Structures are given as structure tokens and as C-alpha cells.
A = this chain, B = another copy of it.
């Protein structure tokens, strides 16, 4: 469990809201939403929820970065998706009243709002505009999953790794230099997204480094040649 914050951020003034499903709510609805939530902080590495658990509420990332993963076969982890500020988590399990479909772990210290389950089931679910946004959100997630699936099925590890770096850049962006990825992931985590062994991920990152496609600065990854990275990823659309 995260540590509950005394001064929770107000939905009405939340910066993350603009890119979230809650952007369709009016001020009155936002005030109401605000009344039915708490906000907790999570340390890097901490679980927000676990795929064994039943949903207790709707999570919405206020600040921070979360990885969504599932435990596959022989306990091997598969990273399914990366989430950022404004994104809602755990809504599928909540709506279907099932166990979480995956686990959510903080990639850095994060603060996350938890919207009351009863409020969700009695009010949010009745709001048509919001529900349409949720359908769009799931649809988008499904499209991403399908793209990921096709890559895993048809591309080699080198292409998938390049694609993963582009995905990370697209999700979390870069720091001020406009080239260094704005997140710290271990080689193992990258491998768990790419669907390869940690050794292969390390090996290929080294190769990209030698080929001047990227520069490895400790755990930070700087994209030196974006065009070449895109070419290496062999994207077709």
C-alpha cells in the first residue's frame, strides 16, 4: 500500500487532467470526483496493485511513471505497457469485477489518486461522456497491444529493441537535451518488454552504442541517430 498524502492534489487544478479521460468532466463533476478520492505516494519499485488482487478503486497517476506487467511462464515477467501522468489504471478489473489483469509497479517515486470503488460504480459508470472516453482508452490500449503482438510475432530481437526505445521515447519523452530518454529502466526491464533474454538486450544495446545509434550513459540512454533507430526498427506504418 502507498502512503496516503494529507494534502491531496485537487482534480480541478490537476495538470495531468488535460490528457486524461476526466477532461470531459465539468467543474462541478470534478469537485465531486475530488471528494471521492484519496492520493498516495509510492516509492520506486513499489507495487500499486498486483495481478492476484481484486480492485479496490480506480487509480489515476498524478505524478510519476508506472510499468504494467504480467507474470508469464516459469515466472518470467512480461512488460505489457508503460503508463504516465493522467493515465487511469485498473479500470478493466473494476468494470468487470474481476482480478487485476496485470500488476502495476512504480518505475520512480509516484503519487497516485485512488477513486472510490462505490463512487465509480454508482456515478462514473453512469456518466456517458466519461464512459465513451473509457471505451476510447481501452481501444487505444488494445491497438498498442496488437502492434506489440505483431512485432513479437514477426520481428527479430534487434528490430524489437529499436522499436522499444522508440516506444519509450513516445511514452515518456526525453529530458531537456531532447535526446536522452526520460526514464530509467534496467536492461532486464527492457528485455521483459522486448521479449528477449537480458543478455541479448545488453548485447544489442552495446551494438547500438558502438554503431552510434544510441549512447549509453550509465543507465541513461541517449538517442544519437533517430533516423537510423527508426530504420533499425523497420517500421511500416
Using CB atoms and an 8 Å cutoff, list the residues of chain A in contact with chain B: 70, 72-74, 76, 78, 80, 92, 95-96, 101-102, 125-126, 128, 131-132, 134-136, 138-143, 145-146, 148-150, 152-155, 195, 234, 236
Bound-complex Cα distance A135 to B138 (A): 8
Please tell me if the beta carbons of A72 and B154 are within 8 angstroms of each other in the complex. yes
Instruction: Indicate whether A72 sits within 8 Å of B153 (C-beta atoms), given known contacts A141-B142, A143-B101, A145-B146.
Output: yes
Name the one of B76, B92, B132, B150 contacting A139, with C-beta atoms under 8 angstroms.
B92
The 9 listed contacts between A and B (C-beta, < 8 Å) are A72-B154, A78-B150, A80-B146, A131-B135, A135-B135, A145-B146, A145-B149, A152-B152, A152-B153
User: Is there an interface contact between A78 and B132, defined as CB atoms closer than 8 Å?
Assistant: no
Which secondary structure characterizes the binding site on chain A?
helix
CB proximity of A234 to chain B, nearest CB, Å: 6
B73 touches A135 (CB 8 A): no
- Please, how many angstroms separate the alpha-carbon atoms of A96 and B70 in the complex? 28
Q: Are B92's CB and A149's CB within 8 A?
A: no
Q: Which of A72, A138, A150 has the most CB of B within 10 A?
A: A150
